[in-house]
Amino acid sequence: MSRGRFVFVVCLPALAACVFSACTINAPTAELEPTFNHQTAAFPLTGAHEGQRCQACHSEGIYRGRATVCVACHQSDYNGTTQPAHQAAGFPTDCTACHTTS
Protein backbone atom coordinates (compact mmCIF):
# COMPACT_ATOMS: atom_id res chain seq x y z
CA MET A 1 0.00 0.00 0.00
CA SER A 2 1.11 3.51 -0.68
CA ARG A 3 1.04 6.23 1.91
CA GLY A 4 -1.87 8.59 1.29
CA ARG A 5 -4.63 10.66 2.80
CA PHE A 6 -7.75 8.90 3.97
CA VAL A 7 -11.08 10.63 4.54
CA PHE A 8 -13.54 9.62 7.22
CA VAL A 9 -17.07 10.76 6.41
CA VAL A 10 -19.97 10.94 8.83
CA CYS A 11 -23.29 11.89 7.22
CA LEU A 12 -26.23 12.89 9.34
CA PRO A 13 -29.32 12.79 7.08
CA ALA A 14 -31.57 14.35 9.72
CA LEU A 15 -29.31 17.41 9.74
CA ALA A 16 -28.51 17.14 6.01
CA ALA A 17 -24.86 17.55 6.82
CA CYS A 18 -21.67 15.63 6.24
CA VAL A 19 -18.59 16.04 8.38
CA PHE A 20 -15.32 15.24 6.68
CA SER A 21 -12.15 14.49 8.60
CA ALA A 22 -8.92 13.71 6.79
CA CYS A 23 -5.85 12.07 8.26
CA THR A 24 -2.66 10.60 6.86
CA ILE A 25 -2.34 6.82 7.18
CA ASN A 26 -1.00 3.93 5.14
CA ALA A 27 -3.83 3.58 2.65
CA PRO A 28 -4.43 3.96 -1.06
CA THR A 29 -5.05 7.55 -2.07
CA ALA A 30 -8.64 8.63 -1.54
CA GLU A 31 -10.63 11.41 -3.08
CA LEU A 32 -10.89 14.38 -0.74
CA GLU A 33 -14.12 16.35 -0.53
CA PRO A 34 -14.72 19.68 1.20
CA THR A 35 -16.88 20.00 4.30
CA PHE A 36 -20.32 21.15 3.26
CA ASN A 37 -23.68 21.69 4.96
CA HIS A 38 -26.63 21.60 2.56
CA GLN A 39 -28.94 23.16 5.16
CA THR A 40 -27.20 26.51 4.73
CA ALA A 41 -26.92 26.24 0.94
CA ALA A 42 -29.15 27.29 -1.94
CA PHE A 43 -30.28 23.64 -2.24
CA PRO A 44 -31.18 22.29 1.21
CA LEU A 45 -31.75 18.54 1.18
CA THR A 46 -35.30 17.52 2.08
CA GLY A 47 -37.37 14.34 1.98
CA ALA A 48 -35.97 11.64 -0.30
CA HIS A 49 -32.89 13.76 -1.05
CA GLU A 50 -31.74 13.60 2.60
CA GLY A 51 -30.75 9.93 2.48
CA GLN A 52 -28.71 10.15 -0.72
CA ARG A 53 -24.96 9.77 -0.72
CA CYS A 54 -23.04 12.82 -1.95
CA GLN A 55 -21.91 10.90 -5.06
CA ALA A 56 -25.51 10.35 -6.18
CA CYS A 57 -25.57 13.97 -7.35
CA HIS A 58 -21.88 14.82 -7.46
CA SER A 59 -20.47 11.77 -9.26
CA GLU A 60 -18.45 13.94 -11.64
CA GLY A 61 -16.81 15.76 -8.71
CA ILE A 62 -18.73 18.96 -9.50
CA TYR A 63 -19.97 20.69 -6.37
CA ARG A 64 -20.59 24.30 -7.46
CA GLY A 65 -22.96 25.36 -10.20
CA ARG A 66 -25.11 22.22 -10.24
CA ALA A 67 -28.67 22.71 -11.49
CA THR A 68 -31.28 22.89 -8.74
CA VAL A 69 -34.41 22.29 -10.82
CA CYS A 70 -35.92 18.82 -10.42
CA VAL A 71 -35.93 17.94 -14.11
CA ALA A 72 -32.13 18.36 -14.27
CA CYS A 73 -31.81 15.03 -12.42
CA HIS A 74 -35.27 13.54 -12.95
CA GLN A 75 -35.81 14.00 -16.71
CA SER A 76 -35.87 10.23 -17.29
CA ASP A 77 -38.52 9.84 -14.54
CA TYR A 78 -40.63 12.52 -16.22
CA ASN A 79 -40.21 10.95 -19.67
CA GLY A 80 -40.96 7.44 -18.42
CA THR A 81 -44.03 8.20 -16.32
CA THR A 82 -47.10 6.53 -17.80
CA GLN A 83 -49.83 7.04 -15.18
CA PRO A 84 -50.44 9.69 -16.44
CA ALA A 85 -47.96 10.06 -19.28
CA HIS A 86 -46.44 13.41 -18.31
CA GLN A 87 -44.57 14.07 -21.54
CA ALA A 88 -47.41 13.04 -23.87
CA ALA A 89 -49.91 15.13 -21.88
CA GLY A 90 -47.61 18.16 -22.05
CA PHE A 91 -47.24 18.49 -18.28
CA PRO A 92 -44.75 21.18 -17.28
CA THR A 93 -41.34 20.05 -16.03
CA ASP A 94 -41.80 22.10 -12.85
CA CYS A 95 -42.19 19.01 -10.68
CA THR A 96 -42.93 21.04 -7.52
CA ALA A 97 -46.28 22.09 -8.99
CA CYS A 98 -47.58 18.58 -8.13
CA HIS A 99 -44.82 16.74 -6.22
CA THR A 100 -42.76 17.08 -3.03
CA THR A 101 -39.55 15.35 -1.97
CA SER A 102 -41.39 13.44 0.78
pLDDT in tens, 40-71: 888 899 999 988 888 888 888 888 888 889 99
How far is C-alpha 35 from the geometric centre of its chain's CA atoms? 14
Quick check: 49 and 73 in contact, CB under 8 A? Answer: no
Count Cβ neighbours within 10 Å for each residue of 51-72 and write b for 16 or more, e otherwise. eeeeeebeeeeeeeeeeeebee
Return the percentage of the chain with pLDDT > 90, whole number: 35
pTM of full prediction above 0.85: no
Q: What is the pLDDT of residue 91?
A: 94
